[in-house]
Structure 1
Amino acid sequence: MTRRELDAAGITDPTLRAAYAHCRRLNARHGRTYFLATRLLPVARRPAVHALYGFARWADDIVDDLGTTATIEQRAAALHRLEADLTAGLRSGTSGRPVVRAVAHTAARYGIDHRHFTDFMASMRADLHVTGYASYADLEAYMHGSAAVIGLQMLPVLGTVAPQEEAAPHAAALGIAFQLTNFLRDVGEDLDRGRVYLPEDLLAAHGVDRALLRWSRDTGRTDRRIPAALRAAAGLAHAAYRTAEPGLRMLQPASRPCIETARTLYRDILRVIDAQGYAVLHRRAVVPRRRRAAVALAGAGRVAAFRLLARRPEPLPVTRPKESSR
C-alpha cells in the first residue's frame, strides 16, 4: 500500500520515498483514528497527510516521551534542534532528517504557509513549562498553534470548492474540536505529566481544582463535582464541532468521506465518555472496534459512490509554494 500511495503521488526519489514511508508508519502506530480516516482519501493525497501527522507526532513525542529521565532542558534542546532543522528544511525543500524531509516536500508541493509550522512549534515549546490555563481564552491561544494550524495545514491537501480563506475558520475549528476531545479523554494521563488543559475557571465554576482531580486519580474514587465539570468541558468540544460543520461542504467531494469519518469517530469518543459517566480519570474511553469498522465502512461506501459518479479523476490540488511572511 505504501508503494501504491507514493507512486500515485509521483514521489520517485528513493530517499524521499523512505522518508514518507517512515511518516506513514508513525501515523499507523500512533494515530489509529486519524490513520483509519486517512485511508479514505484519494491515494495520491495520503503521503502528504502522513508527513504532516508524522512531524506533529515527532515534536509531541519530544515534549512528552523523550525518555523518562530527560530534563526540561534536554527536551528544550531537542525541540530547538528540530525547529532549526524544520526552518532550514522549509527554506531549502529538503532535509537530512526523514520526517523533516517529507514535511518540507509536502509544504513546498502544496504551498502550505510556513507560519503554521512556526505557530505549531511555539505551542510545543509552551508545553515544556506551561502546566495549566486560567481561562478558555488562554487555552485557545495555545490550541491555535497545537491544533487549529493542523487543520489549516491540511486544507491545501484536501482541496476546496470554496475559496480557502472561507473554509479556513472551519478547518481550524475542527482541529480544535479534535484536540478538546483528546484533552477530555486524556485528562488523567495529562495530569500524570503535571498538566491540566481544561480551563481553571471552568473547573472552578463546578468546585473542581487540580487537587481534587489529583485525589480522584490517585484514589480511584470520584466526586459528583468532577463529572459536572467534565460535562461542561465536553460542551466546549461540541461547540467547536458545530463551528466546523459548514466547512465539510467546502471541501472537494473526494476528501469529504475522510473528514466526515474522522469527525464521527472523534465525536464518538465524547459519546463513550458520556456513557461511562465521565470516568476519564480512571479509564481511557475507547470507541468499540465494531463501531469503528462500521463508520469506516460507511465512509468507504461514500468514496465508492463518489467514484461512480465522477466522470473523470479529480485533479490533485497542487499550488505553487509561497514564502512565509515571517
Structure 2
Amino acid sequence: MSQPPSDRISRNVRGGRPPDPGAAATATYDTAAGQDVDRRARPELREHQAAFTTGSRRDADAATLRRAYARCRRTAAVHGRTYYLATRLLSAGQRPAVHALYAFARMVDDIVDGPALRQAPAAVLDSVELALRTAWSPPSVTTPPAPPRSCATTSLDSPRPGALPAEFDEIAPALTDTVTRFAIDPRHFWTFLDSMRMDAPGSPLFRNRYPTMAALDEYMRGSAAAIGLQLLPVLGTVVPRAAAEPAAAALGNAFQLTNFLRDIGEDLDRDRIYLPADELAAFGVGEELLVYCHRTRSTDRRVRRALAHLIAVNRHLYRRAYPGIALLSPRVRPGIRTAATVYAAILDRIEDNGYDVFARRAVVPSHRRLRLAAGAALR
C-alpha cells in the first residue's frame, strides 16, 4: 500500500481560513481551551474538534508540536517523493498538515508491510486505533471509547505494553493538531484502519486476494478514498465539501490502482494480488501465470492484454477525478494537478516498458516529474 496526496486551504476555503498549522507549531498555547473551534464545522464534529483542541493544548506544547511536524516533514520527504514534490506547490500553512497525514499513513503502512514486520500487526493496528479514540474522546465523556469495529485483540481497554510503534508518539501531536484545526471527520481514520486490517494476518478482515473489482473497491475505500477525504478539509473547496468528496475519493482510488499495477511483483512477494481475479480471467490470466511471470521476470502476452485493460480502467478513474480539481481552492489546484499528472505518467511508463512490470519498476524520471510539475503549475 502506498498512499498518494491530496491538499487544501486558502482564503477561498468555504467558511473562512482555518488557523495556520505551521504557525501553530511555533505558537504558545495561552488562549482558552476550545477558542479555535470552527463554529462553521458540521455540528457532529464540533464536540470532537473542541476535545481535540483542549487535548492539543494540554498535551502538546509548542516545542513538541515543532518536533512532531518536523518529523512528519522528514517522513514525507524521504518516503513520498511524488507526494512531497506536490506539497511544495501548497501554501506554507497547508504543508505541515499534509505531511502529518502522510506520516500517519506511512506509519500504519509500515506496521503491516515495514522492513521489520511485527509479530502481530493486527493487534498493533487495534492499539493505534484505541489510542486515537481515547485521545480524541470529548473530555466530558467518562465511559471507555468504543473499540475498533473489527479487532484482533480480546481486551482493547488494556492494550499490551509496547504495542504502539515508537514513532506514534513522535507524530501523534501533529496529527491531533491537524485533525483539530481542520475539523477532519475521525471516521475517515477508522475506515482507513479497517482496510489496513485487510492486509494484516490475524485480523478477522484479512484477505490477500480480490475476486472482483467490487471487492477491490471495498479495500480501496479505506486505503485510498479515505486518504483523499482526510485531506479534503486541509485543501479547501469553493463548493460545499460534500460536493467535492466523490472526485477526491476517485483520485485516491486512481492513485492506488496505479500502485497496484506497478507493484504486482512486490505484492506477489508478500503473497498478495491486488487485481480483480475475474477481470484477469477474462484475458486468460490466473494466479499461476502471474507467479510464473514474476519468477521468470517475463510478461506473457495474456498478461499484457490484461494490464492494457486495467490501465484503461485506471485512466477512467483519473478522468472522473480531474473535474474535481476545479472544485478545490485555487491556491491548491496546481499541487493536486501535479500529483495527478505525475502519478498518471506511471501508466505511460508501464506501456513504454512493454508492460514489463516483473523485471523493472515503472518510474517517472526526475527530469520528467519536474517538467510535468511545471506544466501543471502553469495551467
Band of TM-score, shorter chain = 0.7 to 0.9
**3-state secondary structure, aligned to 2:210:** coil
Q: Whole-Å Cα distance in 2 between the matches of residues 178 and 9 of structure 1?
A: 31
2:69 to 12, 15, 20: 20
The amino acid of 1:249's aligned partner reads: A
Q: How does 1:32-43 map to 2 (within 5 A)?
A: 32-43=81-92
**3-state secondary structure, aligned to 2:24:** coil
Q: TM-score, normalised by structure 2?
A: 0.74
Give CA deviations for 1:173-198 in whole Å, capped at 9, x if unaligned.
Answer: 00000000111111110111010000
Of 84-93 and 171-180, more deviation after overlay is shown by: 84-93
2:198 pairs with 1:106:
no
Q: Whole-Å Cα distance in 2 between the matches of residues 96 and 284 of structure 1?
A: 31
Partner in structure 1 of residue 149 of structure 2: none
Task: List gaps (5 residues or longer) in structure 2.
Answer: 1-19, 27-61, 140-166, 201-205
CA contact (8 A) 2:64 2:173 kept: no
The amino acid of 1:11's aligned partner reads: A
Q: Whole-Å Cα distance in 1 between the matches of residues 136 and 73 of structure 2?
A: 20
Q: Whole-Å Cα distance in 1 between the matches of residues 93 and 279 of structure 2?
A: 43
The amino acid of 2:172's aligned partner reads: V
CA contact (8 A) 2:21 2:177 kept: no
Deviation at 1:293, TM superposition (A): 1.4
Report the count of equivalent residues: 293
The amino acid of 1:152's aligned partner reads: L
CA contact (8 A) 1:158 1:251 kept: yes
**3-state secondary structure, aligned to 2:285:** coil
CA contact (8 A) 1:272 1:287 kept: yes
CA contact (8 A) 1:216 1:223 kept: yes
Give CA deviations for 1:96-122 in whole Å, capped at 9, x if unaligned.
Answer: 712222111111110101110000000
Give CA deviations for 1:216-264 in whole Å, capped at 9, x if unaligned.
Answer: 1111233110111111111221111111121111011000000000000
Q: Whole-Å Cα distance in 1 between the matches of residues 245 and 178 of structure 2?
A: 19
Give CA deviations for 1:277-296 in whole Å, capped at 9, x if unaligned.
Answer: 11112210000111111122
Partner in structure 2 of residue 84 of structure 1: 130
Per the alignment, do residues 137 and 88 of structure 1 end up closer, same or farther by CA in structure 2, a change over 3 Å counting? same
Partner in structure 2 of residue 245 of structure 1: 322
CA contact (8 A) 1:9 1:45 kept: no
CA contact (8 A) 2:334 2:377 kept: yes
Per the alignment, do residues 96 and 142 of structure 1 end up closer, same or farther by CA in structure 2, a change over 3 Å counting? closer
The amino acid of 1:198's aligned partner reads: L
2:10 pairs with 1:10:
no
Partner in structure 2 of residue 298 of structure 1: 375
Q: Whole-Å Cα distance in 2 between the matches of residues 105 and 250 of structure 1?
A: 25
Q: Whole-Å Cα distance in 2 between the matches of residues 217 and 301 of structure 1?
A: 41
CA contact (8 A) 1:173 1:241 kept: yes
Q: TM-score, normalised by structure 1?
A: 0.86
Q: Whole-Å Cα distance in 2 between the matches of residues 180 and 245 of structure 1?
A: 16
Task: List gaps (5 residues or longer) in structure 1.
Answer: 1-5, 303-326
Partner in structure 1 of residue 274 of structure 2: 197
Partner in structure 2 of residue 232 of structure 1: 309
Partner in structure 1 of residue 79 of structure 2: 30
Q: Higher helix proportion, which one?
A: 1
Q: Whole-Å Cα distance in 2 between the matches of residues 197 and 250 of structure 1?
A: 30
Of 132-141 and 7-16, more deviation after overlay is shown by: 7-16
Q: Whole-Å Cα distance in 1 between the matches of residues 76 and 344 of structure 2?
A: 20
Per the alignment, do residues 132 and 256 of structure 1 end up closer, same or farther by CA in structure 2, a change over 3 Å counting? same
Deviation at 1:62, TM superposition (A): 0.5
CA RMSD of aligned residues (A): 1.8
Give CA deviations for 1:127-149 in whole Å, capped at 9, x if unaligned.
Answer: 11311100000110110001001
Give CA deviations for 1:141-160 in whole Å, capped at 9, x if unaligned.
Answer: 11000100111111111100
Q: How does 1:148-297 map to 2 (within 5 A)?
A: 148-297=225-374
CA contact (8 A) 1:185 1:285 kept: yes
Max Rg structure:
2
* Percent identity between the two aligned chains: 52
Runs of 4 or more, structure 1, over 4 Å off, are 299-302
